[in-house]
Amino acid sequence: MSEHGYVLPPTRAGRFVISDVAVVDVAGGAAIPGQDVTIDHGVIASVRPHGEPVATHHVKVDGHGRWLAPAYVDGHAHVLNSPSGVEASHALMLASGIWGWRQLSGDNQLLDARRAGRLPSYPGSPALLAMPGQVLTPLNAGDEAQTRETVRSQAARGADFIKVAMTNRETCLAAIDEAATLGLPVVGHLPDDLDPREASAAGLRCVEHLGPGNGVFSAVSRRGDEARRHGRPRSLPPFAGRFEPLVQKVITRVVVNPQMATSADDAVAMRIADDGYDPALAAELAQVYREHETWQCPTLIRLHTMEFADAHEHTRDAGVRYVDPAEVRRWRLMTRRFRRLPDATRRAFDRRWHVQVDFLRALADADVAMFAGTDANGAGWVIPGLALHDEFALLAHAGLSALQILRMATAAPARFLGIEDAHGQVREGFAADLVLLGGDPTRDVAALSDLHGVVRGGGWWDKDDLDAILERVAAEPTAR
Ligand SMILES: [Zn+2]
């Protein structure tokens, strides 16, 4: 690798013009052809019809025949815990047109490092847009009192939100209640014993992975009560509290594919819920989400790689060349064990996938607020950066329009994060984080992945630069 790392300094920065380009109006849902977009030190200085006089000293990037859209947000990733290293992930994200991400797991060290300005950053690094403290599990949220204490201490440490991962109805509701008094949102995985309608009404801000457990799918099933009776709450191993480093190792292994922990009983509970899937109940739940502004970050790529871990599209994904070989070995080991799961369990996953896709379409039809994410870094076969483009394709497969998907990657996460006044649109005064595309992303989802250049933080990397970044990561994907 060059002494500069994976990403060389941008070939254009400061003041330059992207000329004669079609500007994508994300809010309006159309592209306006023939525009000159002036970038000035990280900010969009002007958007004007092509040909109006522009200061001659401005370097030009020819945008003719291209579309200029806001760069993307990966709304769900674990970059800072990446087993493959943060620098490689950042490079892959830049090369994939991603300007920022929401980090879904933090800890005291990361919160302190951010406050001290000591988080790793490289040329073109995507921005860390929000980060929680340690995710809530029985380790730090064993009962209501401990949960409230944990929420208070994470808030004091500077967490932007609270992430629940393994809670129950009591501790999840306590977290939401305590966090509300501190002005912090709570997001995460719904406990199986908490009805999503109750969680939504209580103020849960965002559901990750559409649930991901059986709670949501019991709530949209005519056989929900029966499914719940078969369910068994997930828990940590009993030794968990005493051996933190060991627990971290276990978690790293489990994160590769949490579905590996599906028991025969769990599979039965899934089948019961999914056999009773009722579109009318799904539409009702969607209305509840809308009413209480409960967001969704579906991460279909994560769900698909968990439920079809041995599919060739994953195991033969050419993108694994960008991933640390030690990490890929963990994925292959998981996949060998995945193949040995009982047929009934595999069938339950297959059925669950189809229900998840139907449910997602029901949410989209009801205009439930959603943004795109991947769960990259640690998740089996989910390749940082590139996975967001897999996500676009899967969202399209689920029936969402190109425009819906474009919004889920740009304006919607900006709104969710409260930064919509300066991000997520190509407008004067907005941040110059942009992608130059070979097609119209309001009409064709494939255009979102047809990258011809990226502006990140006001610097310009063209397609050759982006390809070179990918090659440098492939040459040395191991954490440094
Ligand atoms: Zn995650």
Confidence (pLDDT) at 480:
60
- How far, in Å, from the CA of 168 to the mean position of ligand 1? 18
- How far, in Å, from the CA of 359 to the mean position of ligand 1? 20
pLDDT at residue 221 above 80?
Answer: yes
Q: Band of the pLDDT at 248, cuts 50, 70, 90? A: low
- How far, in Å, from the CA of 281 to the mean position of ligand 1? 27
- Of 92-101, 255-264, 281-290, 420-429, least confident by mean pLDDT is 255-264
d(CA 156, CA 169): 24
Q: Band of the pLDDT at 51, cuts 50, 70, 90? A: confident
- Of 100-109, 232-241, 383-392, 468-477, least confident by mean pLDDT is 232-241
Confidence (pLDDT) at 236:
56
Predicted TM-score (pTM) of the model is 0.96
pLDDT at residue 175 above 70?
Answer: yes
Confidence (pLDDT) at 53:
73
pLDDT at residue 78 above 70?
Answer: yes
- How far, in Å, from the CA of 374 to the mean position of ligand 1? 8
- How far, in Å, from the CA of 104 to the mean position of ligand 1? 6
- How far, in Å, from the CA of 398 to the mean position of ligand 1? 21
Three-state secondary structure of the chain: CCCCCCCCCCCECCEEEEEEEEEEECCCCEEEEEEEEEEECCEEEEEEECCCCCCCCCEEEECCCCEEEECEEEEEECHHHCCCCHHHHHHHHHHCCEEEEEECCCCHHHHHHHHCCCCCCCCCCCEEEECECCCECCCCCCCHHHHHHHHHHHHHHCCCEEEECCCCHHHHHHHHHHHHHCCCCEEECCCCCCCHHHHHHHCCCEEECCCCCHHHHHHCECCHHHHHHHCCCCCCCCCHHHCHHHHHHHHHHHHHCHHHHCCHHHHHHHHHHHHCECHHHHHHHHHHHHHCCCEEECCHHHHHHHHCCCCHHHHCCHHHHHCCHHHHHHHHHHHHHHHCCCHHHHHHHHHHHHHHHHHHHHHHHCCCCECCCCCECCCCCCCCCHHHHHHHHHHHHCCCCHHHHHHHHCHHHHHHCCCCCCCCCCCCCCECCEEEECCCCCCCHHHHHCEEEEEECCEEEEHHHHHHHHHHHHHCCCCC
Confidence (pLDDT) at 428:
98
For the stretch 416-452, pLDDT in tens is 999 999 999 999 999 999 999 999 999 999 999 999 9
Confidence (pLDDT) at 261:
87
- How far, in Å, from the CA of 440 to the mean position of ligand 1? 31
Mean pLDDT taken over the chain: 94
- How far, in Å, from the CA of 25 to the mean position of ligand 1? 30
- How far, in Å, from the CA of 11 to the mean position of ligand 1? 34
Confidence (pLDDT) at 17:
95
Confidence (pLDDT) at 242:
55
- How far, in Å, from the CA of 76 to the mean position of ligand 1? 6
- How far, in Å, from the CA of 77 to the mean position of ligand 1? 6
pLDDT at residue 1 above 60?
Answer: no
- Of 11-20, 121-130, 471-480, least confident by mean pLDDT is 471-480
- How far, in Å, from the CA of 280 to the mean position of ligand 1? 29
Sole residue written with tokens 């483009």: 389
- How far, in Å, from the CA of 305 to the mean position of ligand 1? 13
d(CA 446, CA 303): 21
- Of 228-237, 273-282, 319-328, 367-376, least confident by mean pLDDT is 228-237
- Of 49-63, 105-119, 234-248, 306-320, least confident by mean pLDDT is 234-248
Of 217, 341, 387, the closest CA to residue 285 belongs to 217
Confidence (pLDDT) at 233:
61
Q: How many residues does the chain have?
A: 480
Cα–chain-centroid distance for residue 11?
29
Confidence (pLDDT) at 254:
81
Confidence (pLDDT) at 56:
62
Give the CA diameter of the chain. 72
pLDDT at residue 47 above 90?
Answer: yes
Confidence (pLDDT) at 52:
78
For the stretch 344-374, pLDDT in tens is 999 999 999 999 999 999 999 999 999 999 9
Confidence (pLDDT) at 235:
58
Confidence (pLDDT) at 126:
97
Q: Band of the pLDDT at 245, cuts 50, 70, 90? A: low
Confidence (pLDDT) at 186:
98
Beta bridge mates, 68: 23, 436
- How far, in Å, from the CA of 235 to the mean position of ligand 1? 17
- How far, in Å, from the CA of 189 to the mean position of ligand 1? 9
- How far, in Å, from the CA of 375 to the mean position of ligand 1? 4
pLDDT at residue 194 above 80?
Answer: yes
Of 200, 145, 188, 143, the closest CA to residue 168 belongs to 143
- How far, in Å, from the CA of 373 to the mean position of ligand 1? 9
pLDDT at residue 307 above 60?
Answer: yes
For the stretch 132-171, pLDDT in tens is 999 999 999 999 999 999 999 999 999 999 999 999 999 9
Confidence (pLDDT) at 54:
66
